[in-house]
Structure 1
Amino acid sequence: MSNSYGQAVLRTPDLEEALRAVHQLLALADTSGMDVTFLARVHTPQALERVGKILTEMSWWSEGADRSAPFDDSDNPAEHLPVLVKSFCLSPDAVEELLAAVGGGGSVVCWDFSSWPEAPEVGLGPGGERGAYVSLCVNARDLYLDEPSEDHTVYAHVKQHEAERAPWLAAQIGLQVFGELVMADD
């Protein structure tokens, strides 16, 4: 088993610009078998209700004072705000609706797909599983929602031993990487 490593390719206050960069990166990839993972910090009952209407299944964890309390399916997350919600295997079509539902809270969307293209200029063939995805951190600068922000960051994820692929991908869409490679929980 291997981990992927993300490298930032864009930071912007403009969510539409960030989504355009995500779609440009996805246009380079073999997106067969693509699914989306969504993680969000939800602060209000209204946002939780909106998100819950979109996500038929979601896991949640309290981030409030009772975060060490055990929760089961009968617990109501609205009674434990703020909460982290997470859902897997979503359709890419749900992303913009989910981001609107969360409102100003931080969220991370990960598009996971089959592979990156061959990058002959840096000596790499197609980049495969567990190292081929794109993340968008909305109102957060990091992949774990630990650093809230007013802007949004797009990460290209690659295998650690194929680190040269991240700058190559960024260059394909007219951008440059910045910051270090960051290990991501796959």
Structure 2
Amino acid sequence: MGNTRAWPVLRTTDLAAALSVAERLLSTAAWYEPSDCYLDAWARNDDDLRRLADTFPGAQVTSYGTDGIGLPASVHLGVDTFVQVRGALRAWADITRGYVLWHNLKWPSVPELGLGEEYKYAELQIACNSHDIHCEEWAAEHTVFIHARPGDDGRAAWLAAQVGARVVGPPEFGW
């Protein structure tokens, strides 16, 4: 078992642009399961927690405060369609930092780079209001990340080029 590497391929203040790039990247996948997608957001105060939970009453809340009680709290929502992703991410991005992760997909082979299809390390992510995959630091921009096998810099660049994007920073250690 290993960890992915996550290459940022777009940083923008326009959430619609980030969603568009993600949707186009998903269309380049050899396949993906739309229902294997979830959103996570962090509530660091009571108002954020209330607003996140009120937006989607079915969301799961996990507290990380003292003895598992209180703040901060993670709000987790499973989604089945890109339309649901778009609505949830827009709502949550107005409240706090968070991300959406598609994790059951397969990147296509890239014969010219000597790369076969990739399933184990293939993921796609949008980090809202953050430049890092864990959304630890607030930023005015949203970041689209391509997750792939460590060392597959060429795959990330190739995938980004397929949708008119490019790698815009060094990779992070992924999940």
Q: Give the RMSD, CA atoms, in angstroms.
A: 1.9
* Structure 2 Cα separation of the partners of residues 39 and 138 of structure 1: 10
Larger radius of gyration: 1
Alpha-carbon offset, residue 149 of structure 1: 1.0
* Structure 2 Cα separation of the partners of residues 141 and 135 of structure 1: 11
* Structure 1 Cα separation of the partners of residues 89 and 119 of structure 2: 28
Alpha-carbon offset, residue 82 of structure 1: 4.5
Unaligned regions of 5+ residues in structure 1, if any?
72-79
Alignment of 1:1-186 (within 5 A): 1-34=1-34, 35-42=36-43, 43=45, 44=47, 45-55=49-59, 58-62=60-64, 67-71=65-69, 80-87=70-77, 89-92=78-81, 93-102=83-92, 103-129=94-120, 131-185=121-175
- Give the conservation status (yes or no) of the 8 Å contact 2:14–2:142: yes
- Give the conservation status (yes or no) of the 8 Å contact 1:122–1:168: no
- Give the conservation status (yes or no) of the 8 Å contact 1:115–1:128: yes
* Structure 2 Cα separation of the partners of residues 70 and 125 of structure 1: 43
| TM-score, normalised with respect to structure 2 | 0.86
Q: Deviations over 1:21-49 (max 9, x none)?
A: 00010000033434112210134254133
Count of residues in Structure 1 that have an aligned counterpart in Structure 2: 169
Alpha-carbon offset, residue 123 of structure 1: 1.5
One-letter amino acid of the counterpart of residue 98, structure 2: S
Q: Deviations over 1:53-90 (max 9, x none)?
A: 142xx24134xxxx22234xxxxxxxx34422234x53
One-letter amino acid of the counterpart of residue 60, structure 1: T
Instruction: Give the match's secondary structure for 2:95.
Output: coil
One-letter amino acid of the counterpart of residue 68, structure 1: T
Change (3 A) 1:123 1:108: same
| TM-score, normalised with respect to structure 1 | 0.81
One-letter amino acid of the counterpart of residue 84, structure 1: S
Determine what percentage of the aligned residue pairs are the same residue: 29
